[in-house]
Chain A
Amino acid sequence: MTQITITLNGERTAVVAEQSLRGLLDHLSLDPRAVVVEVNRTIIRRPDLTSTTLTEGDVVELVHFVGGG
């Protein structure tokens, strides 16, 4: 399987080419309902996670709620 390099939460990370964002979340054991995905500064809404695939050089941020004031 071809690998590509993305930046995932600030770290250069190798992932399978053409992987969907939903696939990435599954691979990381993350619940898509509790995580927001941003790719190249654009938020990918939950219904679009399956149809959106990663490409070389993508900058991906996975965020969620943490304690705060």
Chain B
Amino acid sequence: MDTPFSIAGRTFRSRLMVGTGKYRTNEEMVAAHTASGAEIVTVAVRRVDLDRSREEGILYHLDPKKLFLLSNTAGCYTAEEAIRYARLGREAGFNEFVKLEVIGDQETLLPDVDGLLRAARELVKEGFAVLAYTNDDLITALRLEDCGCAAVMPLASPIGSGLGMINPFNIRTIKSRLSVPVIVDAGVGTASDACLVMEQGVDGILMNTALAEAQDPAGMATAMRHAVEAGRLAYLSGRMERREIAVPSSPRAGMLA
């Protein structure tokens, strides 16, 4: 039996969390969300386009009774900016959770650790449940936990890259040393990536582009749901030892003379 997946005292059914960006249509997004079985979905805060304000907002397609909306601070490059976006997201949304991103570099979208830690401290003080997007560095992860973050979200590989998990050792090390949930965020490209991530023993996984840019987002979402469940179950079941020699599966005894 698995333990419940809880963040900041709230328990969720699915260990798969999904984004809402970059889908070709809202219909494809909704189909992918449904197929994924995800309960937590991320959203971003942006200016209302006043020239097109009559268009349906994203909330129209996200049922707050079924989905837990996780507001992010994507696109923020300073702690101050991220704090401002977090406050706006809390006001726009339905909960005190924030997926905190403080980006340090436009080309790689890797996090600015100093800004991230400063923003995390302030937001925790203001009562937010902070889920901090970070690199796969143990020391940063430990400091984020010390700050009071509700979850730490190391990347598998850069945002939107689809390169899969670059350093399983780092992910396992972070998971083994933290008490708060570890949710791998960013870099998953296909189902095997998600399965491998979950086999490291992490608590969950967040993905966006792997679904939005799949040729069939709902099909990929179904694959991801199975991959996350399979990877989790494989982790819980304890894999066999690796050995670099062959060992026969059929008995040696009883062979014909």
Contacts and interface: CB of A to CB of B under 8 A. Distances in A.
A31 B27 CA distance: 22
Interface stretch (B15-23, B124-132, B216-224, B239-247): B15-23
29 contacts: A9-B47, A10-B47, A11-B50, A28-B50, A30-B53, A34-B92, A35-B48, A36-B92, A41-B84, A61-B47, A62-B47, A63-B45, A63-B92, A64-B57, A64-B92, A66-B21, A66-B43, A66-B46, A67-B19, A67-B20, A67-B23, A67-B58, A68-B72, A68-B74, A68-B208, A69-B159, A69-B206, A69-B207, A69-B208
A8 B87 CA distance: 19
A67 B21 contact: yes
Interface string B69-90: 1011010000000001001110
Contacts of B71: 65
Nearest to A37: B91
Interface in B156-175: 159-160
Contacts of B207: 69
Contacts of B209: 69
A43 B74 contact: no
Interface of A: 8-11, 28-30, 34-36, 38, 41, 43, 45, 61-69
B148 interface: no
A64 B74 contact: no
A68 B20 contact: yes
A61 B160 CA distance: 29
A67 B92 contact: no
B36 interface: no
Nearest to B89: A65
Contact of A68 (B44, B59, B88): B44
A30 B207 CA distance: 31
A8 B50 contact: yes
Interface in B196-227: 206-209
A1 to B, nearest CB: 21
Contacts of B91: 36, 43, 45
Contacts of A62: 47-48, 50
B38 interface: no
A36 B71 CA distance: 13
Which of A28, A61, A63, A68 has the largest count of B CB atoms less than 10 A from its CB? A68
Interface string B1-36: 000000000000000000111110000010000000
A43 B88 contact: yes
Contacts of B74: 68-69
